[in-house]
Structure 1
Amino acid sequence: MIPVRRSIWHEPRPADAPPIGRLDRLLVGAFAVAVVVEGIVRSDVAWRPLVTVLALTLVPALLWRRGRPLVAALIGWGVAGLLSILQLTTPAGDLDLYSMLAVLILLYSLVRWGSGREIVVGTAFVTVVVALGMYASAAGWADLFGGIVLLLLVVALAAVFRYRADLWQRQQREIRTQERVALARELHDTVAHHVSAIAVQAQAGGVVAGIQPEKAVEVLAAIESEASRTLAEMRSMVRVLREEEAAAFSPQLGVADLPALAHADTKPVVEVSLEGSLTRLARPVDAALYRLAQESLTNAVRHARGATRVGIDVRREGDAVRLRVCDDGRTEPGPVPEPGFGLLGMTERAQLLGGSLSAGPGPEGGWVVEAVLPAEVRA
């Protein structure tokens, strides 16, 4: 039990807390109107002006519930505790407004957006206030049980959403890590290829310099060109890598290997079309195009319903290369589903190289994946 308590105590705040938006202001406005209306029409509430003013102090708390969840919870539940104390000290009648149920939102926000320390301190405070309120209202066993169940449901719901968001972020980080590992392997191959070429040219230059000194200038120019290209690709790749990864030396497939994916003897038929100058692409771009096409083809074969054809089209468009993979499968009507982790990984790879990727239903049916990458990676 001790390690669990320590892990909860040191739990940081979630990093994805959204800022105050239009829906938050609408919520606060609706709450304020409800409090004022209830304070006017409910004749069974004692000290209605005081109770109404105290309830309106929850307005800033509702706005702070994500940015400062502990402060918001202390304000909201502190008001509830103050009303319970007044209920005990003054037999003036009922002091509760139905609008005060908004404190449940503050409890949810505390567990969903607070740090571990804030959750421990805040829930302890809420527990004291709830016990005080139950005692002040002389609640029976049924009301006590119902109240406890409601609070536990709110806490459980907040914990579930917090865990799901944390799991999603960890999966996103895993996708980025995998893509960076793949890019590190490609960087390894790029450096090995170019440095080997530079070494061979340098050895040849040493021989040529002794026989034909006038040709040594051409050899040096070729070495300079190869070294500059290598340095540009290294800079672009290292810029997106954040930590060292071990990489195995293995040849990378590229655009020239895409025709091997085509086949006409099975369903769906795969057709590959290559247009434009695609022979002098940067090696990271060349490998990325193959990987994106291969992943898109795999998704089409697995998920496209009733597909009979999958087309892979790669063409050079100025300083960019466009990849388009489309199928003729059936698409279900309705909103476009959320992208899976495979598609998110493809998008991450394209963006790391300075490009973009989009996927969705095609205008004539089927599913279309389209990526645009720079032909030369930025230095």
Structure 2
Amino acid sequence: MLVGAFEAAAVLEVLVRPAAPGQPWVTLLAMAVVPALLWRRSHPLATSLVGFGAAGVLAAIQLVTGTAELGSSAMMFILVLLYSLARWGSGREIVIGMPWVAAVVALGMYAADAGPADLIGGTLLLLLIATAAAVVRSRADLWQRQREEIRTQERLALARELHDTVAHHVSAIAVQAQAGTVVAGSQPDQVAPLLAMIEDEAKRTLAEMRAMVRVLREDDDEAYAPLPGVRDLVTLSRSGPPPPVEVSLTGDVSDLPGPVDTALYRMAQEALTNCLRHARVPTLVTIAVTRTADQVRLRVTDDGQAQPGASVKPGFGLTGMAERAHLLGGTFTAGPALIGGWVVEAVLPVEVSP
């Protein structure tokens, strides 16, 4: 679309200024170089060299022939290439490309015999474009780092929860194996060695897991506590203060995998917190969990005064919930409902892929 707009501008200039010196040739050159915009993000340095190189050719021709004006407004698209170089170019590409741009601009100003006002104005324009690109790049990098930090935090949280869940079961295996060695007096030659192997394996697995996640926890000595799950969502229901919170569980949610069970509770808890903080005069918040054969769906809704179709930038809470759902192989959506209010929905597979 951008390429088409600049191509149309070049054709329009031919119609508006048919008598300008060398106008048809300048227009053809501009139309030939405009498609370089298609690669401005993937190859910012190459496109800048091509675009400003074409402008440099025009400036050289103007300088040699002594033509008062050989420039074309259609060539203004090279300013987009300058923005692209500062926005998407690597450090090496910027170091190479910026002197090239400065040299071409200086040659053009010299060929046009620019006065002090033109020199100052042109320089400020180029600096403004480069600065704007640098600001946008910095903000994008900051947002990307924040997203990566959220993703890392969610991975660490899942690692802790997985560790706690598996460690609980392994601890139970160790206890059962110890009990087996006590009651296996009738056939000790067959049962006792097997139970001893189970006990040793369970203890070794537990020790390895604790060593692996020790750097992830600050409370290694803290006793393991049961992790909250879907069945604990009923504790979030309330009749007051406003808004009331209703919780409904459909299907068998008693045998969900530990990571899925805990993730659904955490996401429901975060979604409810967002509703209570940000919803505009809601009168009811509903938390619904529906279990089917191969997936479980969480849906948190409120009837606040959200505008349907409104564009809302996702905050850290929504981003964290989305990352948690995606890490477990599920999907996540959040946005205003058609009839008002806000809807958060997550669908997770019952079986978590390794």
Tell me what 2:331 maps to: 356
Q: 2 CA distance for matches of 1:315 and 1:216?
A: 44
| TM-aligned CA deviation for residue 99 of structure 1 | 0.7
Residue matched to 2:295: 320
> What is aligned with 1:302?
277
Judged with a 3 Å threshold, the aligned counterparts in structure 2 of structure 1 residues 289 and 95 are, in CA distance, closer, same or farther, namely same
Residue 59 of structure 1 deviates from its aligned partner by 2.6
Deviations 1:254-310 (CA, angstroms, capped at 9, x unpaired): 223222222223111122223332222211111111101110110010011111221
The alignment-based identity, stated in percent, is 60
Aligned to 2:66: 91
Segments of structure 1 that go 5 or more residues without pairing to the other structure are 1-22, 235-240
Deviations 1:160-195 (A, max 9, x none): 121121111111101110100100111210221011
Matched, 1:347 2:317: no
- 1:83–1:336 distance in 2 versus 1, CA, 3 Å: closer
Structure 2 letter corresponding to 1:114: G
SS at match of 1:263: coil
What secondary structure, in the 3-state scheme, does the structure 2 residue paired with 1:94 have?
coil
> Quick one: structure 1 residues 271 and 56, their matched pair in 2 at CA, closer, same or farther if it must change by over 3 Å?
closer
Query: Under a length normalisation based on structure 1, what TM-score does the superposition of the two structures give?
Result: 0.81
Pick aligned residue for 1:157 from 132, 156, 163 = 132
Structure 2 partner of 1:112: 87
- State the partner residue of 1:254: 229
Post-superposition offset of 1:36? 4.0
Which residue identity does 1:365 align to in structure 2?
G
Call closer, same or farther: CA 1:45–1:362 in 2, change over 3 Å: closer
Between 1:346-355 and 1:80-89, the stretch displaced more is 80-89
In the TM superposition, residue 43 of structure 1 has moved relative to its aligned partner by 4.3
| Equivalent residue, structure 2, for 1:48 | 23
Alignment of 1:337 onto 2:307? no
One of 111, 124, 131 as aligned partner of 2:99? 124
What is aligned with 1:19?
none
SS of equivalent residue, structure 2 residue 353: coil
Who is 2:147 aligned against?
172
Mark the CA change 1:31 to 1:327 in structure 2 (over 3 Å): closer, same or farther: closer
Cα deviation for residue 40 of structure 1 reads 5.6
Q: Aligned to 2:240, which of 246, 265, 268?
A: 265
State the partner residue of 1:378: 353
Using structure 2 for the length normalisation, give the TM-score.
0.86
Distance, in Å, in 2 between the alignment partners of 1:357 and 1:35 is 46
Runs of 4+ displaced beyond 3 Å:
none
CA contact 1:184–1:245 (8 Å) conserved in 2: no
CA distance in 1, matches of 2:343, 2:152: 26
Deviation at 1:37, TM superposition (A): 4.2
Which one-letter code corresponds to 1:366 in the other structure?
Answer: G
Q: Which residue of 1 aligns with 2:6?
A: 31
Partner of residue 173, structure 2: 198
1:117 CA drift (Å): 1.4
- C-alpha distance in 1, partners of 2:18/2:333? 59
> SS in structure 1 opposite 2:335?
strand
1:2-44 Cα offsets, whole Å, 9 max, x none, are xxxxxxxxxxxxxxxxxxxxx3xxx323323433443465245
